[in-house]
């Protein structure tokens, strides 16, 4: 039963060895690039530095330097800034050099002291941001899974600029990636994840609606959805193969771009270190690969550079930036696609989730491009859903492949019993149908039977001699490259015969399967390669494809574990079927006893049964007569977490829970006496990574193992894992108990409740409902809720009138059809004693696990007189508000035509040759008219009351807007004899600003008008309207202007 385990260990060792070798190659390529960037020949470097090449030797210090440069490069992209703080005190321990400029920080000046920087090592990060953001940061520090809170919106304390803060933890502290929020974007909070889900909702529903069984259709749909969401020039799905190389299997790009669909990349194009980073940071955005990166300054007391592996701002290293530039790409967005997998590929596996890297979704753009965090999060969510769909397709494909292999195995076994072994190569199906191959052959009793593309008979004899000489101690030999395995005449066989699987069926007889080279099976849909093109030497998709073709020139597709299982199983069956004939040859007896033949056939069956038990979908384990485990299949190892080699030899009492020990002991004693048990429930312990989980619940049957004299040697336990079912039943029972206690509680807090099934029959009528209606439960259960329970006649719960019954019918039909629930519907009915009851009805649909509506749950709220009065007041208020809105809509419609006429007349006046003073007056009237139109169009009344309005920003002249403000209050000023004194500095009058000038006019005019209105109407009093400007230089080319509008008026002032 340990064959699968040893094979998986071998596979894991082989993959980890490949990963380690690949890391060496990646480091060597990186060293070559940095040493000779201008003369770097990419294709030649890949071929020279492949794992099999002796030139790939590189010192371990160089590998460490390479890995540190990728993860701890201390450079970020300039579209954001970075701060690292100590989690204990939120003091800054590192920051990017552009942080001060991006946050708008200015140095603090203290009298009689030197000027000091607003941001430096040791600065309290809370001093940089406004208090709500600081509170959010403090909350994040105390939070476990910090990524759930992203993004946090922070506003700079000095400039009030909004930023998205994307947080993650590293060994040294808390990393804060700050990305500026676009002026036309409303900042979101931690609840921004919901907004991201909404952005991706339509795309997700389209993906989930696709039919199963078609991976390419799924990938094509994804690239189109991502392209629509992001607007990138090119979107690709890039899949990793078993040997580490990648392939573009779906693409959506601009028509004028050369397609990369079908292109294969060598494994070095995406280094192993980068793949590890993709497992940690699922989305990677590069806004501009040509932008100069920004350095990160850190506390000198730190022992090593901080890790930027989880930062959204991490800068691309030089060779990747050059690769993008060579292919005409300036910006990119890459998202990782992960699926469930084994632990065989530890480099590309997430240790927390157990998922491994299946591929990437890659987006390229020919110009700089920035996606805000909510949109990137939406793309990540869409990619996660895609990964779930891919996982389903992959599992389905494996099951179909396993089913096909088992069916073929079954037919081949039947052929062997009738015509061994010639039938498996002369009939249909044959051994070529067992696994994917280009040719197969049987060499038996010095004769050759061949199918498909195979070597000649002479070449096969030569292969047999080489295998026996080089690998004679094994049961067979498998390779994906005869050239790399050292076969002397591999070049003679050519690319048609590269991979081979050979197994012994006797000492001199062999079965062969052959595969052609990978290069013969790959077609790229791009343009043909020009030998004189410089792309052949530069880092470019075409040169990568050329290098890959060279790498796989003498290689076939690898033989996977399932195919090797099928080949080895067929080998065992053929050996068993030929054992009889082999015995005749060796012993040289005239005939064979039928009993011996039956024993030989039984051996074959036993071998196959061992394989079937090991691969069974249920846990099976065997115990000898002394109670020691001597059999433990893969499923038992999976559910318990205890590996096969650890289980064998342990007493069964050590593996079961204490409360099951006596049960197992009795079952074992009965089995040794020949009595087999069925349907017994036992619990076994969890081990290894599952140690913290609850015990595994099994329902087992026992089967006695007997020798030839029918003596019982041991017991086989065949189990069914019912842990999930039992947990579900316990939860269901608990919920049912809670439900019953709520439904039948005498507490006055429980409202009247009744339920119906999908046919409208009453299925529940609780105590509170009995008390409210005066009708007992047994009188209404299984009766129509509308017509027999609630009626318009003199029986049951008599409703107020027939209209109420009609209203209830409409509402219940809407609920049962899944359209909408009933929320607080007011209706009245009569108690059995004749008293009238008014209640609020709420009704919600009940659904099963598949979402099908199974009935309606209703509960009543009987309002008190005070509540009824409040409801009436609410209805009246709603009617008043509706009437007000109607009047407002009427006013808007009626004012629209005069406003358009005024606009037309103003345009005529503008073109009629006015003087400069007249033009200024006309401009003032235009601004006042535009302000009036804006006020009339305001529809978000709630937003205005809450202090939130959307701004329509444009460039405007501040002097013109201030003149419009003053002219609006002049009439009241003259009427109340209050003088307005305007005090504007000359530099203010000439300013051209960017903002919402009409909203500014509205606020200033309202404030100034109120000040005049509440100023006493006494001669000589005045109101001062003053503007103070403070201008600060930010950098070399930018200036920040802070305007203060000050209105000074006499007492008593505004109320």
**Edge-to-edge strands, sheet with 234-240:** 264-265, 246-253, 234-240, 355-365, 331-340, 283-286
Give the model's confidence band at 820: pLDDT under 50 very low, under 70 low, under 90 confident, else very high. Answer: confident
Q: Is residue 638 part of a domain?
A: yes
CB 928 within 8 A of CB 967: yes
Q: In the chain, what percentage of residues exceed pLDDT 70?
A: 77
Q: What is the DSSP string of 557-610?
A: PPPPHHHHHHHHHHHHHHHHHHHHHHHHHHH--S---HHHHHHHHHHHHHHHHH
| CA–CA distance, 442 with 448 (Å, rounded to integer) | 6
Q: Which residues contact 582 (CB under 8 A, 6 or more apart)?
A: 506
890-904 mean pLDDT: 79
For residues 231 and 162, membership in a common domain is answered with: no
Q: Which of 578, 463, 474 is nearest to 512 (CA)?
A: 463
| CA–CA distance, 57 with 261 (Å, rounded to integer) | 34
Question: Does residue 18 or residue 727 have the better pLDDT?
Answer: 727
pLDDT at 942: 63
| CA–CA distance, 1034 with 98 (Å, rounded to integer) | 12
For residues 147 and 228, membership in a common domain is answered with: no
pLDDT at 226: 92
| End residue of a domain, out of 145, 163, 190 | 190
Give pLDDT tens digits for 1017-1029: 777 788 888 888 8
89-99 mean pLDDT: 91
Q: Is the pLDDT of residue 548 over 80?
A: no
Helix (H, G, I), strand (E, B) or coil at 488: coil
| CA–CA distance, 487 with 467 (Å, rounded to integer) | 9
Q: Is residue 559 part of a domain?
A: no
Least confident of 427-431, 607-611, 626-630, 751-755: 607-611
Give the strand pairing for 331-340 and 81-85: unpaired
**Please, how many CA atoms are within 13 Å of residue 1019, restricted to the half-sphere of its CB?**
0
Helix (H, G, I), strand (E, B) or coil at 435: coil
pLDDT at 84: 94
Highest mean pLDDT (candidates 138-152, 490-504, 589-603, 1026-1040): 490-504
The answer to whether the predicted template modeling score (pTM) of the entire model surpasses 0.85 is no
Give pLDDT tens digits for 924-942: 888 888 888 888 777 666 6
pLDDT at 352: 52
Name the domain count of the chain.
Answer: 6
Q: Is the pLDDT of residue 537 over 60?
A: no
Q: Is residue 822 part of a domain?
A: yes
Give pLDDT tens digits for 249-303: 999 999 888 888 888 877 777 777 777 777 777 898 999 988 899 999 998 888 8
Q: Is residue 67 part of a domain?
A: no
Give the model's confidence band at 342: pLDDT under 50 very low, under 70 low, under 90 confident, else very high. Answer: low
For residues 699 and 780, membership in a common domain is answered with: no
Highest mean pLDDT (candidates 48-52, 84-88, 877-881, 895-899): 84-88
Give the model's confidence band at 188: pLDDT under 50 very low, under 70 low, under 90 confident, else very high. Answer: low
Distance of CA 265 to the CA centre of its chain: 25
Give the model's confidence band at 526: pLDDT under 50 very low, under 70 low, under 90 confident, else very high. Answer: very low
Least confident of 585-594, 616-625, 653-662, 866-875: 585-594
Environment class of residue 1052 by beta-carbon count within 10 Å: exposed (0-12), middle (13-18) or buried (19+)? exposed
What is the CATH classification number for the domain harbouring 961?
3.30.565.10
What is the CATH classification number for the domain harbouring 478?
3.30.450.270
pLDDT at 356: 81
Give the model's confidence band at 119: pLDDT under 50 very low, under 70 low, under 90 confident, else very high. Answer: confident
Q: Is residue 809 part of a domain?
A: yes
Question: Can you read off the two tokens belonging to residue 820?
Answer: 């909408």
CB 1028 within 8 A of CB 991: no
| CA–CA distance, 965 with 947 (Å, rounded to integer) | 21
| End residue of a domain, out of 863, 890, 919 | 863
Buried b (16+ CB within 10 A) or exposed e, 425-458: beeeebbbbbbebbbbbbbbeeebbbbeebbeee
For residues 100 and 175, membership in a common domain is answered with: yes
Strand partners, 1027: 1045
If residue 240 lies in a helix (H) or strand (E), which one and from where to where?
Answer: strand 234-240
Question: Does residue 218 or residue 991 have the better pLDDT?
Answer: 218
Q: Is residue 42 part of a domain?
A: no
For residues 264 and 373, membership in a common domain is answered with: yes
Q: Which residues contact 861 (CB under 8 A, 6 or more apart)?
A: 751, 824, 839, 840, 842
CB 340 within 8 A of CB 349: no
Highest mean pLDDT (candidates 72-81, 276-285, 587-596): 72-81
| End residue of a domain, out of 190, 208, 233 | 190
Q: Is the pLDDT of residue 543 over 70?
A: no
* Cα–Cα distance list, 634 to 464, 606, 691 (Å): 34, 18, 18
Identify each DSSP E strand in 690-780 by its residue range. 696-706, 712-721, 753-757, 762-765
Question: Does residue 95 or residue 1037 have the better pLDDT?
Answer: 95
Q: Is the pLDDT of residue 355 over 80?
A: no
- Give me the sign of the Cα torsion angle 452, 457, 463, 465: positive
CB 53 within 8 A of CB 551: no
Mean residue pLDDT of the chain comes to 78
Give pLDDT tens digits for 440-493: 999 988 889 999 999 999 999 999 889 888 877 677 888 988 888 889 888 888
For residues 771 and 812, membership in a common domain is answered with: yes
Give pLDDT tens digits for 569-585: 888 888 877 765 544 44
pLDDT at 387: 86
For residues 257 and 383, membership in a common domain is answered with: yes
For residues 307 and 167, membership in a common domain is answered with: no
pLDDT at 246: 84
Question: Can you read off the two tokens belonging to residue 919?
Answer: 């033009």
Other CB atoms within 10 A of residue 137 CB? 21
CB 444 within 8 A of CB 426: no
Q: Is the pLDDT of residue 703 over 50?
A: yes
Environment class of residue 993 by beta-carbon count within 10 Å: exposed (0-12), middle (13-18) or buried (19+)? middle
Give the model's confidence band at 735: pLDDT under 50 very low, under 70 low, under 90 confident, else very high. Answer: low
For residues 200 and 183, membership in a common domain is answered with: no
956-973 mean pLDDT: 86
Give the model's confidence band at 7: pLDDT under 50 very low, under 70 low, under 90 confident, else very high. Answer: very low
CB 216 within 8 A of CB 205: no
**Within the chain, how many helices (H) and strands (E) appear?**
30, 35
Question: Does residue 635 or residue 342 have the better pLDDT?
Answer: 635
For residues 223 and 347, membership in a common domain is answered with: yes
Q: At which residue do the structure tokens 């048990």 appear? A: 677
pLDDT at 361: 94
Q: Which of 277, 281, 313, 321 is nearest to 296 (CA)?
A: 313
- Give me the sign of the Cα torsion angle 602, 603, 607, 613: positive
Q: Is residue 942 part of a domain?
A: no
Q: Is 124 left (phi over 0), alpha (psi -120 to 50) or beta?
A: beta
* Host domain of residue 463: 439-515
For residues 624 and 711, membership in a common domain is answered with: yes
For residues 347 and 232, membership in a common domain is answered with: yes
Q: In the chain, what percentage of residues exceed pLDDT 90?
A: 10
Buried b (16+ CB within 10 A) or exposed e, 474-483: eebbbbbbbb
Q: Is the pLDDT of residue 499 over 50?
A: yes
Helix (H, G, I), strand (E, B) or coil at 1038: strand
Give the model's confidence band at 44: pLDDT under 50 very low, under 70 low, under 90 confident, else very high. Answer: very low
What is the CATH classification number for the domain harbouring 293?
3.30.450.40
Three-state secondary structure readout of 188-204: CCCCHHHHHHHHHHHHH
Give the model's confidence band at 919: pLDDT under 50 very low, under 70 low, under 90 confident, else very high. Answer: confident
Q: Is the pLDDT of residue 232 over 90?
A: yes
51-73 mean pLDDT: 56
Highest mean pLDDT (candidates 340-344, 351-355, 367-371, 875-879): 367-371
Where helices occur in 419-511 by DSSP H, the ranges are 423-426, 457-471, 490-493
Q: Is residue 835 part of a domain?
A: yes
């Amino acid at each position: 039963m340990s064959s699968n385990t040893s094979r998986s260990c071998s596979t894991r060792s082989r993959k980890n060895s490949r990963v380690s070798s690949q890391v060496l190659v990646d480091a060597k390529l990186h060293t070559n690039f940095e040493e000779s960037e201008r003369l770097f020949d990419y294709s030649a470097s890949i071929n020279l530095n492949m794992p099999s090449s002796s030139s790939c030797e590189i010192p371990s210090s160089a590998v460490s330097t390479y890995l540190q440069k990728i993860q701890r490069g201390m450079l970020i992209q300039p579209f954001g800034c970075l701060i690292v703080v100590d989690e204990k005190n939120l003091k800054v321990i590192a920051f990017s050099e552009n942080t001060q400029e991006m946050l708008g920080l200015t140095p603090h000046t203290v009298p009689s002291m030197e000027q000091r920087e607003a941001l430096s090592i040791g600065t309290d990060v809370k001093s940089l941001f406004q208090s709500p953001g600081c509170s959010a940061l403090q909350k994040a520090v105390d939070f476990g899974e910090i990524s759930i809170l992203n993004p946090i919106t922070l506003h700079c304390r000095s400039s009030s600029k909004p930023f998205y803060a994307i947080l993650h933890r590293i060994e040294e502290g808390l990393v804060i990636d700050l990305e500026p929020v676009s002026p036309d974007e409303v900042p979101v909070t931690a609840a921004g994840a919901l907004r991201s889900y909404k952005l991706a909702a339509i795309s997700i529903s389209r993906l989930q609606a696709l039919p199963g069984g078609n991976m390419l259709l799924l990938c094509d749909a994804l690239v189109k959805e991502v392209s629509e969401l992001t607007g990138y020039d090119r979107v690709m799905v890039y899949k990793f193969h078993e040997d580490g190389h990648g392939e573009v299997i779906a693409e959506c790009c601009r028509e004028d771009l050369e397609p990369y669909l079908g292109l294969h990349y060598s494994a070095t194009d995406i280094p192993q270190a980068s793949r590890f980073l993709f497992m940690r940071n699922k989305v990677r955005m590069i806004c501009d690969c040509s932008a100069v990166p920004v350095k990160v300054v850190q506390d000198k007391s730190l022992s090593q550079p901080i890790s930027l592996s989880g930062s959204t701002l991490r800068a691309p290293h030089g060779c990747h930036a050059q690769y993008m530039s060579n292919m005409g790409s300036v910006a990119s967005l890459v998202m990782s696609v992960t699926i469930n997998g084994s632990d065989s590929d530890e480099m590309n596996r997430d240790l927390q989730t157990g998922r491994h890297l299946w591929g990437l979704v890659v987006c390229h753009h020919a110009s700089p491009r920035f996606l805000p965090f909510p949109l990137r999060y939406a793309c990540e969510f869409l990619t996660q859903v895609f990964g779930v769909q891919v996982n389903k397709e992959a599992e389905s494909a494996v099951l179909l492949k396993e089913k096909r292999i088992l069916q073929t195995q079954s037919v081949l076994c039947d052929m062997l019993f009738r015509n061994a072994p010639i039938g498996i190569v002369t009939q249909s199906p044959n051994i070529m149908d067992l696994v994917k191959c280009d040719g197969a052959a049987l060499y038996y009793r010095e004769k050759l039977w061949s199918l498909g593309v195979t070597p000649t008979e002479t070449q096969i004899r030569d292969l047999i001699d080489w295998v026996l000489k080089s690998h004679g101690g094994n049961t067979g030999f498998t390779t994906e490259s005869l050239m790399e395995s050292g076969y002397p005449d591999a070049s003679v066989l050519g690319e048609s015969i590269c991979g081979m699987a050979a197994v012994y069926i006797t000492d001199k007889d062999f079965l062969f399967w052959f595969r052609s080279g990978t290069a013969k099976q790959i077609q790229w849909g791009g343009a043909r390669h020009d030998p004189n093109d410089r792309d052949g030497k530069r880092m470019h998709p075409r040169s990568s494809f050329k290098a890959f073709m060279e790498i796989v020139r003498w290689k076939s597709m690898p033989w996977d574990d399932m195919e090797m299982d099928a080949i080895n199983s067929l080998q065992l069956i053929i050996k068993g079927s030929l054992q009889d004939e082999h015995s005749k040859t060796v012993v040289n007896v005239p005939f064979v006893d039928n009993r011996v033949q039956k024993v030989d056939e039984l051996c074959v069956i036993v071998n196959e049964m061992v394989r079937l038990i090991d691969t069974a979908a249920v846990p099976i384990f065997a115990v000898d007569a002394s109670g020691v485990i001597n059999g433990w299949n893969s499923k038992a190892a999976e559910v318990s977490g205890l590996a096969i080699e650890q289980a064998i030899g342990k007493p069964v009492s050590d593996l079961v829970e204490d409360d099951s020990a006596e049960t197992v002991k009795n079952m074992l004693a009965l089995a040794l006496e020949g009595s087999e048990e069925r349907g017994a429930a036992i619990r076994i312990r969890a081990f290894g990574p599952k140690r913290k989980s609850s015990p595994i619940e099994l329902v087992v049957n026992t089967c006695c193992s007997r020798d030839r004299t029918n003596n019982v040697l041991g017991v086989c336990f065949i189990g069914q894992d019912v842990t999930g079912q039992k947990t579900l039943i316990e939860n269901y029972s608990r919920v049912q108990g809670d439900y019953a206690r709520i439904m039948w509680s005498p507490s006055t807090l429980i409202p009247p409740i009744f339920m119906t099934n999908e046919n409208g029959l009453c299925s529940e009528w609780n105590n509170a409902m009995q008390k409210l209606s005066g009708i007992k439960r047994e009188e209404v259960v299984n009766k129509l809720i509308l017509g027999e329970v609630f009626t318009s006649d003199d029986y049951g719960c008599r409703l107020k009138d027939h209209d109420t019954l009609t209203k209830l019918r409409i509402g219940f039909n809407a609920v049962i059809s899944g359209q909408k629930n009933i929320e607080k519907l007011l209706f009245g009915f009569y108690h059995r004693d004749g008293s009238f009851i008014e209640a609020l009805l709420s009704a919600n649909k009940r659904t099963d696990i598949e979402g099908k509506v199974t009935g309606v749950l209703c509960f009543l709220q009987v309002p008190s007189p005070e509540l009824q009065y409040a409801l009436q007041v609410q209805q009246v208020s709603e009617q008043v508000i509706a009437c007000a809105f109607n009047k407002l809509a009427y006013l808007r419609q009626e004012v629209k035509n005069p406003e358009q006429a005024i606009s037309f007349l103003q345009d005529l006046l503008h073109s009629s040759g006015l003087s400069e003073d007249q033009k200024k007056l006309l401009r003032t009237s235009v601004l006042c008219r535009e302000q009036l139109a804006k006020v009339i169009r305001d529809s978000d009344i709630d937003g205005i009351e809450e202090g939130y309005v959307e701004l329509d920003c444009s460039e405007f002249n501040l002097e013109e807007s201030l003149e419009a403000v003053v002219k609006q209050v002049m009439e009241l000023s003259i009427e109340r004899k209050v003088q307005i004194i305007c005090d504007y500095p000359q530099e203010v009058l000439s300013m051209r600003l960017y903002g919402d000038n009409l909203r500014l006019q509205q606020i200033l005019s309202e404030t100034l008008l109120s000040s005049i209105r509440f100023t006493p109407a006494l001669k000589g009093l005045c109101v001062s309207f003053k503007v103070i400007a403070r201008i600060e230089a930010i950098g070399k080319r930018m200036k920040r202007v802070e305007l203060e509008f000050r209105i000074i008026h006499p007492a008593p002032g505004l109320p």
